[in-house]
Amino acid sequence: MLDFMQMIASGIAVGSTYALMGIAMVIIYKTSEVPNFAQGEMALISSFFAFMLLDQYGLPYHLAFAAALIFSILLGFFLEFSILRRAKEPNVLGLIVITIGIEMILLGLVSWKFGADPKSMPFPISPWESFAIGNVFVSQLEMLTLVVALIIMVILFVFLRYSKLGVAMKATQQNHIAARIMGIRTNRIMMITWGISSFVGCVAGLLIAPTTMQPFMMWDPLLKGFAAAVMGGMTSLPGAVVAAYLLGIIENLFGGYVSIEFKSAVAFAIIVLVLCIKPSGLFARHYIKKV
Domain CATH number, residue 129: 1.10.3470
For residue 73, tell me if it sits in a domain: yes
For residue 282, tell me if it sits in a domain: no
- In the predicted structure, residue 166 carries a pLDDT above the cut 80: yes
- Of residues 281 and 29, more confidence is placed in 29
Structure confidence at residue 164 (pLDDT): 87
For residue 286, tell me if it sits in a domain: no
- In the predicted structure, residue 291 carries a pLDDT above the cut 50: no
pTM of the model: 0.91
Distance CA 6, CA 138 (A): 8
- In the predicted structure, residue 63 carries a pLDDT above the cut 90: yes
- In the predicted structure, residue 290 carries a pLDDT above the cut 50: no
Tally of structural domains, the chain = 1
- Of residues 77 and 127, more confidence is placed in 77
Structure confidence at residue 89 (pLDDT): 73
- In the predicted structure, residue 69 carries a pLDDT above the cut 90: yes
Host domain of residue 115: 2-277
Q: pLDDT tens-digit profile of 222-238? A: 989 998 888 888 878 88
What value does the mean pLDDT of the chain take? 86
For residue 287, tell me if it sits in a domain: no
Q: b/e for 211-221, b at 16 or more Cβ within 10 A? A: eebbbebbebb
Taking the CA atoms of 72, 175, 272 and 237 in sequence, report the sign of the dihedral they define: positive
For residue 265, tell me if it sits in a domain: yes
For residue 199, tell me if it sits in a domain: yes
Structure confidence at residue 183 (pLDDT): 82
For residue 285, tell me if it sits in a domain: no
For residue 288, tell me if it sits in a domain: no
